[in-house]
């Protein structure tokens, strides 16, 4: 994982200034002034231009009443009452002088093509008023800013401004029906978010209205909570599905397990409520019956609940117990799969879980069940030379070792233990079935770990782990 630390502080603060009826002074009447005015005339500012001569285009704006032209050379008293000043004559030295005079009076001034004389700069602009995107590089790379502008210009439809105005109109209606701010935020997130932002923003104002009305009618028909059982994967947020991210963004409440990583939780909304229902191994735990109750209570409040489980929710996740209760209470739910620990562990050590000519089946077993260490059909597993992943198996590993060897499995077969798979502190231990119990006793394994029985680390992947460990230190 590469963390890029930005040490660069912004020298320029991007803000949008209310210029309605404010005096904006432009000094100059040639090409430089005209270039600045192209943006300025789009605002509601009162533009006063002082110059003996003006270009044809500026004359046109004056005729249209967009600017007030004062046909003479500027005087210091012109600064009086101005909010912003543009020194945009055709003479650089003169512009620098004007800028100095204006700054002395505490004014915001921009001098054409002379960054050091300016105390504000005008960004490159993508104009879809009232939507405006300003792009600046603090003068470091105007070409890059222009390229970003060109890219956005080609992607944002001309109708975006109309869409924003429509949304503003609809917001009032939505507010009367939905008094809660959190509900409204979620409503708009549902309307506007999606796989493809460029699709959402291409809606015509009418289509947007249709969508909003349709969704509002569903809302009025009785609000019921909804539960998404979401697989959080093995911990690294890069391994989340797109659907999981989306549900996290939309959740009112996130009910999460012990093994869900902080990095994944950080993707939830700040306003969401977070409820921890972790089960510590051999320690404190929130009983499943209480978790079920929490889901029902939250659903009764009409909330969108994300039930976040590590890995895949359908593998040792007790998902059925929760979905049975939801079904019995007629509460809608969906399941978003996640990357299970064995898949992440195998990927990181570079081995195939099933391999032609080696194993036709692969099983995932648990080292622990409700009664303690779990028993399995060890004889069958040993006989078939099966390969499998053991979850919750660290404590049970001496038992697993003796059961398999007693059933005739070769003590030399490879066993790989992957702790904290996919996380920065991932740790891999390579051993054999015969050594497993001893290794577990002598190696401190505190994090979640999978035992991959019958799997050896692919040589090419060894360096990968060393570098991961170094990165984590």
Give CB contacts under 8 A, 24+ apart, made by 91-100: 95/28, 95/32, 98/27, 98/74
Q: Which member of 97, 149, 215, 279 is catalytic?
A: 279
User: What is the closest distance, in whole angstroms, from the C-beta atom of residue 198 to ligand SAH in the complex?
Assistant: 34
Nearer to ligand SAH, 234 or 268 (CB): 234
Both tokens assigned to 7: 């040490």
User: What is the closest distance, in whole angstroms, from the C-beta atom of residue 362 to ligand SAH in the complex?
Assistant: 14
DSSP assignments along 205-250, one per residue: HHHHHHHHHHHHHHHHT----EEEEEE-BTS-GGGS-HHHHHHHHH
DSSP assignments along 357-406, one per residue: TTBS-EEEEESEETTEEPP--HHHHHHTT-EEEEES-TTTHHHHHHHHHH
User: What is the closest distance, in whole angstroms, from the C-beta atom of residue 300 to ligand SAH in the complex?
Assistant: 27
Sequence-distant (≥ 6) Cβ neighbours of residue 236 within 8 angstroms: 1, 261, 263, 344, 422, 423
Cα 153 → chain centroid? 24
Nearer to ligand SAH, 36 or 423 (CB): 423
Nearer to ligand SAH, 272 or 452 (CB): 452
| Cα–Cα dist 287/319, whole Å | 14
312 is an active site residue? no
Query: Shortest CA distance to 203 belongs to which of 247, 260, 160, 244?
Result: 160
User: What is the closest distance, in whole angstroms, from the C-beta atom of residue 279 to ligand SAH in the complex?
Assistant: 9
Residues forming contacts to ligand SAH in the complex (CB under 6 A) are 234-235, 259, 309-312, 315-317, 340-341, 345, 391-392, 418, 420-423, 448-450
Both tokens assigned to 83: 């909010």
Nearer to ligand SAH, 252 or 386 (CB): 386
User: What is the closest distance, in whole angstroms, from the C-beta atom of residue 217 to ligand SAH in the complex?
Assistant: 38
Q: CB–CB of 32/89 below 8 Å? A: yes
113 is an active site residue? no
Q: Is the dihedral of CA 201, 205, 208, 212 positive or negative?
A: positive
Nearer to ligand SAH, 183 or 312 (CB): 312
Q: CB–CB of 233/339 below 8 Å? A: yes
| Cα–Cα dist 436/422, whole Å | 22
User: What is the closest distance, in whole angstroms, from the C-beta atom of residue 399 to ligand SAH in the complex?
Assistant: 15
Nearer to ligand SAH, 95 or 340 (CB): 340
- Look up tokens 């994967």; give the residue: 233
| Cα–Cα dist 110/85, whole Å | 6
Helix, strand or coil for residue 304? strand
Both tokens assigned to 23: 């005096």
Nearer to ligand SAH, 51 or 340 (CB): 340
User: What is the closest distance, in whole angstroms, from the C-beta atom of residue 295 to ligand SAH in the complex?
Assistant: 17
Burial class (CB in 10 A: 0-12, 13-18, 19+), 198: exposed
- What's 420's DSSP letter? S
Q: Which member of 78, 257, 312, 386 is catalytic?
A: 257
Nearer to ligand SAH, 51 or 401 (CB): 401
User: What is the closest distance, in whole angstroms, from the C-beta atom of residue 346 to ligand SAH in the complex?
Assistant: 11
Query: Hey, which residues are catalytic here?
Result: 257, 279
């Amino acid at each position: 994982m590469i963390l890029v630390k930005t040490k660069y502080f912004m020298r320029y603060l991007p803000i949008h200034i209310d210029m309605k009826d404010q005096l904006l002074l432009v000094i100059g009447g040639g090409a430089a002034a005209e270039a600045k005015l192209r943006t300025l005339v789009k605002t509601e500012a009162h533009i006063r231009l002082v110059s003996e001569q003006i270009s044809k285009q500026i004359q046109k704006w004056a005729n249209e009443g967009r600017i007030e032209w004062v046909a003479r050379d500027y005087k210091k008293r012109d600064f009086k009452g101005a909010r912003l000043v543009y020194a945009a004559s055709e003479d650089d030295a003169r512009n620098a002088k004007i800028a100095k005079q204006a700054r002395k009076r505490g004014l915001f001034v921009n001098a054409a093509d002379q960054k050091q004389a300016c105390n504000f700069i005008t960004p490159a602009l993508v104009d879809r008023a009232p939507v405006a995107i300003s792009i600046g590089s603090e003068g470091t790379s105007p070409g890059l800013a222009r390229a970003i502008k060109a890219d956005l210009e080609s992607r944002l439809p001309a109708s975006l401004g109309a869409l924003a105005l429509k949304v503003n109109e609809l917001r009032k209606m939505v507010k009367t029906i939905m008094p809660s701010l959190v509900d409204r935020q979620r409503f708009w997130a549902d309307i506007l978010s999606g796989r493809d932002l460029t699709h959402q923003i291409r809606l015509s104002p009418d289509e947007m209205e249709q969508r909003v009305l349709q969704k509002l009618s569903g809302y009025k028909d009785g609000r019921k909570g909804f539960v998404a059982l979401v697989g959080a994967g093995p911990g690294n947020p890069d391994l989340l599905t797109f659907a999981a991210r989306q549900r996290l963004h939309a959740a009112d409440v996130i009910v999460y397990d012990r093994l869900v990583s902080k990095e994944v939780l950080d993707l939830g909304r700040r306003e969401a409520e977070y409820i921890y229902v972790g089960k510590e191994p051999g320690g404190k735990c929130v009983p499943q019956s209480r978790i079920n109750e929490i889901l029902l209570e939250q659903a009764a409040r009409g909330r969108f609940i994300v039930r976040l489980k590590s890995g895949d929710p359908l593998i040792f996740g007790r998902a059925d117990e929760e979905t049975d209760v939801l079904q019995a209470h007629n509460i809608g739910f969906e399941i978003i799969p996640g990357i299970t620990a064995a898949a992440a562990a195998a990927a990181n050590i570079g081995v195939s879980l099933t391999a032609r000519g080696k194993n036709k089946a692969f099983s995932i077993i648990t080292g622990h069940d409700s009664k303690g260490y779990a028993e399995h059909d060890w004889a069958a597993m040993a006989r078939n030379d099966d390969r499998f992943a053991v979850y919750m198996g660290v404590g049970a590993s001496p038992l697993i070792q003796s059961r398999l060897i007693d059933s005739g499995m070769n003590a030399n077969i490879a066993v790989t233990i992957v702790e904290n798979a996919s996380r920065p502190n991932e740790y891999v231990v390579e051993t054999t079935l015969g050594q497993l119990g001893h290794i577990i006793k002598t190696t401190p394994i505190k994090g979640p770990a999978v035992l991959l029985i019958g799997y050896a680390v692919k040589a090419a992947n060894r360096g990968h782990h060393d570098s991961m460990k170094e990165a984590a230190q």
